[in-house]
Amino acid sequence: MGTLKTFILLAVMTALFMGVGYVVGGTVGMAVAFVVAFCLNVFSWWNSDKIVLRMQGAREIDPASASPMIRTFANDVKKLADRAGLPPPRIYVIDTPQPNAFATGRDPHHAAVCATTGLLGMLNREEVAGVMAHELAHVRHRDTLTMTVTATIAGAIGMLANFAFFFGGRDRQGLIGTLAIMIFAPLAAGLVQMAISRSREYEADRLGAEICGNPLWLASALEKIERGARATINQPAERNPAMAHLYIANPLNGRGADNLFSTHPATANRVEALRRLASEMGVTSAPASPAARREAGPWG
């Protein structure tokens, strides 16, 4: 299903790309846009994870030379991957104070998970485990292919739509068409992002809670991430807003992004769903303090 959704998404994005090309250069522009879109689709399918990680300024960690905190984090991710029945993913870190995380990769054998330094510094070990379990749920559901390809192509459509302003027709009709594409092409790409984002977040929350064993760990983490995201700016995400849907929580909150363009369900709704799940599972223990959990593993 994930692969089918990705093919449909690529077709929709290609159509939008060709529409922008038509406004920019008529039939010739549309043909050129099709060729560019085809090449971009192929390239994105195989290299979108590398593009996303590079554009977000992520660096792969080396457990052998990393700090004790990072080594512990890497070991916990590998344990969670084993619990989820997944191969160990590559592990990346982004140097930004905003707490957040995302997963990428075209399949479980080419997956990567990424956490910000703000996430590792603000959350305790149990909460980090809940977040990483959520990201591994995306990997297991193969959401990451659709999410990552969307990020690269939507970003390209946004850039092409902006170019339309400079290369569109000079007559009144051409100018109106150019302005319409500038407004509606990025909006259409954003709507596609939202269509694939909201329901999958609830499902990844549910499966992630099952992987880590305690829905309250993720619920507590989401509340902290929400507060942290509103208080700090994620510069890599601000520079590339088309990739915001990859993150576990909206990374653009630091500048009060309009809810119309939000790619995530409301945090309060997600937390409420997780607490209901905890009740159904008979789980009542909230995450312990960082000091209390310093020596213990994330699963007791």
76 within domain boundaries: yes
Query: Taking the CA atoms of the chain, what radius of gyration do you get in angstroms?
Result: 20
40 within domain boundaries: yes
85 within domain boundaries: yes
277 within domain boundaries: yes
Q: The domain containing residue 263 runs over which residues? A: 2-281
68 within domain boundaries: yes
Q: Which of 127, 135, 201, 226 is catalytic?
A: 135
289 within domain boundaries: no
How many residues appear in the chain? 300
233, 98 Cβ separation under 8 angstroms: yes
List the chain pLDDT tens, one digit each, 300 residues.
556 766 777 787 778 778 777 776 778 878 888 888 788 777 777 777 888 899 899 999 988 888 888 999 999 999 999 999 999 999 999 999 999 999 998 889 999 999 999 999 999 999 999 999 999 999 998 888 777 777 776 666 666 666 665 655 555 445 655 665 666 666 666 656 655 667 889 999 999 999 999 999 999 999 999 999 888 888 888 887 777 888 999 888 655 444 445 668 889 999 999 999 999 999 887 666 555 444 445 544
157 within domain boundaries: yes
167 within domain boundaries: yes
φ/ψ of residue 171, rounded to 5: -75, 170
141, 207 Cβ separation under 8 angstroms: yes
**Catalytic: 223?**
no
Q: Strands 112-116, 101-104: parallel, antiparallel or unpaired by DSSP?
A: antiparallel
Q: How many domains does the chain have?
A: 1
